[in-house]
Amino acid sequence: MWKNKRKILLLLIDIILLNIAYFLAFYLRFDYNIPHQYFLLYKKTFYIVVTVTVVTFIFFKQYNKIWRYASLHDIMDLIIFTTIGSAMAAFVLLFLQIHLPRSIYPLYWFLSALLIGGSRIAYRSYMENSSKGKVKNIKYKKVLIVGAGDAGRILVREIKNHPETGLKPVAIVDDDVSKLHRSIDDVPVVGKIDDIQEVITEKEIDEVIFAIPSAPRTVLKKVIDKCSEMRIKVKTLPAIYELVDGTISISSIRDVDINDLLGREPVKIDLEEISSYIKGKKVMVTGGGGSIGSELCRQIARFSPSRLIILDIYENNMYEVQQELKRKYPKLDIVCLVANIREGKKMNKIFSKYTPDIVFHAAAHKHVPLMEDSPHEAIKNNVYGTLNLVKVSDLYNVNRFVMISTDKAVNPTSVMGASKRICEMIIQEYDKRSKTEFVAVRFGNVLGSNGSVIPLFKKQIAEGGPVTVTHEEVKRYFMTIPEAVQLVIQAGAMAKGGEIFVLDMGEPVKIIDLARTLIRLSGFEPDVDIPIKIIGLRPGEKLFEELLISDDKYVSTKHEKIFIEKPVSVDYGNLILTLEKYKDKIDDMDEDEIREFIKLLVPEYNPDYQRSLMEEVAATEVE
C-alpha cells in the first residue's frame, strides 16, 4: 500500500516541479517580465508539456526505482529521460502547430533536469541522515577494506548507506601505488597489502573485508594468513564468476570459508563444448541427492537438457534438490525417482521408460571406516549396483556414461577404495564391447561434502573442541564441490570411451594444517582456545592418497586440469566371470572371504597397510 502511495506522491511532486521549470523557462527568457500573450501561451501549453514529460518517466519506469539508494548512474538515467521527455514535448507542440520561442526548449530541459534530479538527491540525503539518527547508539566495528578499485568504492558507499550494519570503514589498502594517500568517500588509502598488520594495529581494526573479486585466490589467502595471525576476522566479496549480475551490495559480503584457502584459481570450463552435448538431451544423475550428485544436477540444469532424471534411494535430499531446481528453472522437465541401483529389474524398467541419453553415476557408499565394518554392502552397492547400471546403459544405447570414482581406488587399502577400482575396471571392460561411451572420472576429497572433514571440524569447534585429527602426517587432495563437478561435466564432453579421467587436485594439504587454519578462521587459537587431538588412523585410511596408479602412465588433454590414465592390463573376461560367479554368494561370505574376493579382482588391494605402517613407525622409534 505504502509503495503505491510513494509512487503517487513522487508523481505529484514531479508534476509540480516540471510546471515550475516550465514557468521559469518563460520567466528567464523574458527577463523576469513575461508579456501577456506569452503568459497566455504558457497557460495554454503547460499541461501538454508536463504530461508528455511525466508519461516519458512512467514509460522508462522511473517511479519503480528506490531513490533512497540512488546512484550516479540513476541520476544520469534521469537526465537522459528528462532530455527525451523534453524533446517529445517539443515534438508534440510542433505537431499541434504551437510555436514557442526556441530558447524556451533548452531552458525547460535544463531547469526540469535540475529540479527533478535535485529532488532525488535531496530525498536520498534526507533518508541517509534519518537512518543515521535512528542508529546513532550503535557501537561501530572499525573495518579495513582491501581493494581500492570499483568493488572497494561501491562497498565503502554501501556500508556508509547502511549504518544499521554496525560497520565503519576507516582505512583501505591496495597494491596499486597510484592509489596510495588518496581517499574514497573520505576513507583514506593508507598502504599496501603487505602493510595490513601494521594498519590493523595502528587503526585498531576489528574486521577486514576483502573487496577484490577479480583477485587470484593466492592474494586472498595471503590476506587471510596475515589476519589470522592477529586473530582478526576476514570477510570477502564472492569471486567475480560468483557475482552473476555483477551487483555488489552489503548482502554480497560473506565470511571467508575454507574453500578460499586452496590457493588455487577456479577451474575454467568450455561452456560451448559442454552445452553442445547436454542441451536437448535426457540426462540422468544417480545419487542425485548427495553432495556431488546434487551439484551435478544444478550445473547440468544450466545447459538446458530436455529432461533431468534424478535418481536416489534417499528421498529427503532429492526432494530439496527438486524444489530448488523448480524455483530456478521452472520450465525444466524434472523427474525424481526413488530407487535402488542394486535392483537390476527396477533399473531395467526405469531405463526402458525414460531412455536417458547421458548418465552421470554418482550413487555409492563412500565412507571408508563404515565400509570396513560393512564390506558386503560396499560390494553390493558400489560394484553390483554399478554393474546393473552399466548393463542397462548398454542395453538401451545410452550415448555416454560417466562414473564418479575416487583417488582411494589407486593402490587401495580400504574396501571402499577397492570397490571403486573394480567399478573402473567394469567401465573399461564394457566400453570395449558397447556402443555406449563408458568413462570414469577420478578425484580426491571435496570440501564441504556430506561426511567430509570440514563439517566435522566446524562442529567440533562450535562445541569447544577438541578437533580430532587421525595422524600428524595425513595429507589429502582437496577441491571444492563446484570445481569437481565442473571438471566431471567437462570430462564427459571430452569422452571417447574407456578413459579414466584424472583431475588435477593441486598440492595435497596436511589435515592438521587445515584444522589449525579453520580454528583461526573461527576466531580461536589452536591448542590454546581449541585443542587438537591425534586419535590414530581409522580403519582403511592411508596417510596419503594417490591419483595415478603409475606416475608415468598418463596423458594430457586439451584441458590443463584433466588427464587420462593409460589403461592398466586387466583380464576383463575373468573380471566379469568372477563377478557373476560370486553375485549371489556375497551375503553368505564372512568379512575375510569378502576381502579375499576383492584380492582376486584387485591384486594391488592391501588391507594390511595400517599394520605395516605401524610396524615401520615402531621400528623407526626403536632406531
Residue 408 bears catalytic tag = yes
In whole angstroms, how far apart are CA 604 and each of 299, 386, 598, 608? Answer: 36, 21, 10, 11
Q: Any long-range contacts for 349-352 (C-beta under 8 Å, 24+ apart)?
A: 350/311, 350/392, 351/392, 351/393, 351/395, 351/396, 351/398, 352/396
Half-sphere exposure at residue 539, Cβ-oriented, CA atoms within 13 angstroms: 11
What's at 181, amino acid-wise?
H
Residue 151, classified by CB atoms within 10 Å of its CB into exposed (0-12), middle (13-18) or buried (19+), is buried
Is 254:238 a contact under the CB 8 Å cutoff?
A: yes
- The SS3 assignment for 602 reads coil
Catalytic residue among 179, 366, 380, 408: 408
Secondary structure element (H or E) that encloses residue 45, with its range: helix 36-59
| Cell 556500508 sits on residue | 159
Torsion sign, CA atoms 592, 598, 600, 606 = negative
Give the β-pairing of 500-503 and 437-443: parallel
209 backbone dihedrals φ, ψ, rounded to 5°: -120, 125
Gap between the Cα atoms of 329 and 326, Å rounded:
5
- The three-point CA angle 612-467-265 to 5° equals 85
Gap between the Cα atoms of 189 and 191, Å rounded:
6
Q: Which residues does the annotation mark as catalytic?
A: 408
